[in-house]
Chains A and B, each alone.
Chain A
Amino acid sequence: MSRTVFGAQIIWEALIAEGVDVCFGMPGGAILPTYDALAKYEYQIHHVLVTHEQGASHMADGYARATGRVGVCIATSGPGAINLMTGLATAQMDSVPIVAITGQVPVSLLGKDGFQEADIQGVSLPITKHNYLVTNIEELGPAIKEAFYIARTGRPGPVLVDVTKDVQQTLMEGFDYDAIEVNLPGYISNKMEADPKDIARAARLINESERPVIVAGQGVSIAHAEAELRVLAEKANIPVATSLLGIGTFPTTHPLSISWGGMHGEAYCNHALQECDVLIAVGARLDDRLTGKFDTFAPKARIVHFDIDPAEMGKNLTIDTPVVGDALLSLRSLLPQIESTSHPDWLEQIEEWKRDSKEIDILEQETDDLNAPFIVRSLWHMTNGGDATIVTDVGQHQMWEAQYFNHTKKRSLLTSGGLGTMGYALPAAIGAQMGLKSEEVWVMAGDGGFQMTMIELKTVREQNVPVKITIINNSFLGMVQQWQDVFYEKRYSGTPLMNPDFVKIAEAYGIPARMVDKKEDVEDAIREAQETDGPFLIEFRVPTEHVYPMVPAGKSNSEMIRRKRPLLPTDEE
């Protein structure tokens, strides 16, 4: 049905038509007409006022990762839009669907360096999947429709729509969102079926393999192919590793799970990757944090790479059998061609490596000190074996979370893997919690990253988001300190932190909180947080510690640094 509406109304009506129930943003001059029109739509779309626009883009990201729907953030021109960029780059690196709407100065002022003008299309160009500058009311509806289509199809990603203020204020006759057709002749969308010849070649390679390994990435989750992945693994008894973002696509409690690999992945997983003869990557982009030095990764393996993005084929590694297509469709056509086999010798070898890893596990060592792995494992137990969504920040705690929280649920770990954005956790968890409604959402952050965006505690309180927050506080930028220990002769340049009292900070925002520095109090604190109606913050004070294993940057995954074996002389580290 066509109607006469203002540009500002088109924005809201388009969002509602796209199924958006919540959006995150902050007003300002160039987006004011749109905020003025919000009152008309408040019953259909919930607007969350953020403290800083970076929070808005991370919230949209957390919402999108947790629910699989498109996250939406809104900001004004110039500084407002630029503040969104960290979150958009984070989403671009991790293929997260976001639509960002930004206000822009009126067309008459474009290019005149007017107040709060910045070239947002130019700024966001390399860190978005696509972007639009709308200078004409006729283009507004189609731009938003295309933005949603591009964001959620194919390999998902963030799309920005920059709308000049005058367009928001212009009346348009005959607006009908449903009648707009997406016209993108150069865009390859989703549901691409792979070439049957590639599938057959992949099947042959997998059937011939003696020491196969699957590397499952986030693409499995995006394509909803978790069940098919499991059938493939079980049918041919193939051990499954994941990438960091692939955590949750295959239950880590499954006997064929070999956890995750890479720089701080499990040692037995890296051994398996280095020794396998066929590596089957599914929806994983095989980045440097997973592979270590490219030309020494999986040296004995022929690689089968399933991915929807043709540009990922051969970007980092030489691929023997590229299979371009949607992971779900590809696995479905692959499965009938896979022979049932078992690989007893190979699986026994992996078990042996696993036992060795367990022996030097920090949780097996007797220490009274509170440590992050202990906290993570306690949280896992206290959430009935991981029935919660964990949103991490970036650093040591992130790696420990990934190592010690046995993720069994899909989309249960939200983390900035590609860009490694400190400050991600709190705002992303707010977005996740708003998308997941009453499900349990935990923030796990370090003291450094938490402080980058802790101003969003204001949003937590204002929206009464029942998110549970943990801070692993070692008064250091811990991961950087670890690198200084290993590569810079313990010169702690810029890493010691003089922190505030986090309990008081939380209380200042009206959020109940407590501090824990003993192992015996961990369970009780987690229980108190769970039993509290609404948000709760726990500060865990821990001594500094290293994350092991560790593959030094630029080195081969065969050159892992391992934790010292207790009570045994060793030349390691």
Chain B
Amino acid sequence: MMKSGLSLLQSVLALLGGLTALCGLVGAAISADADILLTVAVGLGALTLVRFVFRPISFWLDGLAAVLIAVALVLALPRGSAMPGHYWFAMVSAWAFAWLFVDQLSGEIRKGTVPRKTMGLLIPAVFGISLLVMWEIVTRGANVPPVLLPAPSAIGAQLENSRGILWADFVQTFVKSVIPGYIIGCLAGLIVAIAVDRSPFLKAGLLPIGNFMSALPIIGIAPIMVMWFGFDWQSKAAVVVAMTFFPMLVNTVAGLNAASTIERDLMRTYAANYWQTLVKLRLPAAGPFIFNALKINSTLALIGAIVAEFFGTPVVGMGFRISTGVGRLAIDLVWAEIAVAAVAGSAFYGVIALIERGVTFWHPSVRGGRA
């Protein structure tokens, strides 16, 4: 143990990875038609056990072992049947080596021996790829019915084959429903918030109603919106407007009160009028609150548009494809659609977060300094 230079957890992982690779090697040796590449890979994995008797090895070799075993295993997976028993040893081995690699890498980053900027990105990448590889091996290796869970490769192939359909769905749901609904809903929330803030009457009357409405399950109004605005994107955009309006309203009303008393007194000493105070003080001070609402709404809007399409739509749209895809047992298409939605949603959120960093650069939460 001392010779390997590893922590307890790392030692356990190294031992597990090496021993399972050894088991995989033995399994390959006694089986009739061993896959050559996989045999070589697990052989290399088993060789890492020398670190316990000879000398420590670089953690990059652990990463290499993980990649080699994973690639060989995925290539060796049989089509249409479960994989041989000893392949499972190889899978556990690849997983252990990947974990061992990431654990050592993060340790090295903390010590400063490898640059944080580039290598820091490697950790989530290894994590995500490991997850996909495991998913691939388990679904195909155990011959899981595609209706329950298709393999990532099948979803990828479906993404490639149905590019036209997926693009049309994306345009229908994201470009036509989410974006206009989001803009209208957020803008309306912002304007009404300013009006509510200005008028004590509206504040007393509208805000409680707003809070009540925001507690309603907005999705429940989707069928009504379909009746009012028709089957096409307009009704979905209307649902998105309803979903995004209240978070923006409530956040902006709170944000408009964020300016401190001294900051307001200052405006008063300049004899600034209402609009000057609003534009030069209160709206900038409300920025962090407004961006909070924009970020919340970016995910709400996509959920709203997709679910609203379950209640009636022309024969295009992400929600339509998901609901009919499940009905036709075209589960890989459903997953492809979910993947598109996830990427679109993350990108949307990411863009808003980037704009936020640019606009509210001064806020302690962004600049990471003192208040």
Bind each other: no
Interface residues of A (CB under 8 A from B): none
